[in-house]
Structure 1
């Protein structure tokens, strides 16, 4: 849902009707009840506003969802899937939480994974480069339980071996290969006009699911033939191929109103 809204609403100053969202998601194979339930949950979590206009319900972004979407936008279009500019710096984050804080531990690990960290040891996580984590730690209320350092590896450390021990490279590589197998045929195919929007939604959502697990490790220390760059080329080629059809479908299928008329 956030992928769809980021593509169609972010930066547009519009709200979109639940009926047209349901229509697009149905074309992507998602049932009406699941779509309605997701919209309700996102309102309850502060990720969406909703407002009735006549007999229709419209949904718009909140400040919180805009922040999440800007981060996803940066991951998709800004940083890229291959890290060729690593300067040898590592960010180390150590934490110690009470045993009873299972939820806080889960939330911290999830956010660290999204930020590119892997578990060097149980309470010590590491990420390539200089990663700013103070805001996410503060958001979780864990500042008193977390310590962050910048470091460089000792000359005798086998960085490639450390990377393989810390991150599941084979699993990540298979995610990229599966993405290529699934989407490469669409580099030369075109969908029906009204299905282009739903297809691009699936494309973006699946790409985000791949790169959210990728810490963007320095390419010089990854196995030969690392598939991230090939997968990214496939993503961009299919996205560009679908763009004009998806835009036409968006104009036909989506019922939107300006934010000022919905406030």
Structure 2
């Protein structure tokens, strides 16, 4: 997978795949905005500003089309792309947590346990199921047994025609720990707690200097969204009472919301100007 180093005004050692950048852009600025299919020129311009080579950008658009995330049409010699219904559903599903003022908070003491087995005939879907489980907040306790803080909608994990029949192979339980359970030890078994903290601290270190930056609102918002999605994938929202003092999730959440509010209006305006200029080239 092609990855891109930070191309923002404040370079930092964070690496993102072009598809991550496009998901951030599409979820933040395109979803439910009523735009017509967007030409490849606009995508290439955006990804080029983010340091993605044209060949890698075109390959990413083609790959997302093959996966069923983008629908491709032609207008003369120009390729245009729009979100498929499935991609729209995925982005809408993620949006409440992306926009939440408290994305790492769950009801105290509640957990979701999930046990499932993948038949040999469906092993090709293992990576996709694993990605969905991680996004939903699950960590692996042992083979086939996963745990997540709070109450997770397990049925939503197995939605989609490609997962037909897999929900029947999963058993889920809402539960509370037995008295005397060493919950901090359990957390360290299921998650790399140090890596979760480091992800928050990296986000804070990267985006605090953005307050003093100027220009490039579209690329900065795209980078911001990609970084925040990575934080959300990494941290399932572990209970604060079982975490070290000074846990940084509240600080990173406040910083994301502040920077998004500051950048979004100008980024939306920049995108509209790009689309208008591109329409003039027809």
With structure 2 as the length reference, what TM-score do the two structures score?
0.82
Answering whether residue 19 of structure 2 is matched by residue 21 of structure 1, we say: no
Aligned-partner Cα distance in 1 for 2:223–2:80: 22
* Gapped regions of structure 1 (runs ≥ 5): 258-263
Unaligned runs of 5+ in 2: 1-21
State the distance in 1 between where 2:153 and 2:170 align. Answer: 13
Deviations 1:147-197 (A, max 9, x none): 11111111111222211222111001101111111111012322x3xx220
Query: Which digits, 9 at most, give the CA deviation of each residue in 1:42-85, with x for residues without a partner?
Result: 111111112222342221111100011112212210363331x4
1:220 aligns with 2:241: yes
Identify the residue that residue 194 of structure 2 maps to in structure 1.
170
Residue in structure 2 matched with residue 135 of structure 1 by the alignment: 156
1:20–1:253 contact (8 Å) kept in structure 2? yes
From the superposition, tell whether residues 101 and 16 of structure 1 become closer, same or farther in structure 2 (CA, over 3 Å).
Answer: closer
Q: CA RMSD in A?
A: 2.1
Partner SS, residue 180 of structure 2: coil
Aligned 8 A contact 1:16 1:59 in 2? yes
CA distance in 2, matches of 1:58, 1:138: 28
Q: CA deviation at 1:219?
A: 1.8
Aligned residues: 253
Deviation at 1:99, TM superposition (A): 6.5
Give how far 1:102 is off.
Answer: 4.3
The structure, 1 or 2, with the larger RCO (C-alpha pairs under 8 Å, 6+ apart) is 1
Match of 1:37 among 46, 59, 70: 59
Residues 1:5 and 2:48 are matched in the alignment:
no
Q: Distance in 1 between matches of 2:128 and 2:79?
A: 32
Residue 89 of structure 2 is aligned with which of 52, 58, 67? 67
The match for 2:70 is 48
SS in 1 for 2:236: coil
Task: Pick closer, same or farther for the CA change 1:50–1:107 going to 2, 3 Å.
Answer: closer
Tell me, yes or no, if the aligned pair for 2:137 and 2:235 is still in contact at 8 Å. Answer: yes
Give the secondary structure class of the aligned counterpart of 2:100.
helix
Runs of 4+ aligned residues of structure 1 deviating over 6 Å after TM superposition are none
Q: TM-score, normalised by structure 1?
A: 0.88
Q: CA 1:44/1:99 → structure 2, altered by over 3 Å: closer, same or farther? A: closer
Equivalent of residue 240 in structure 1, options 253, 256, 261: 261
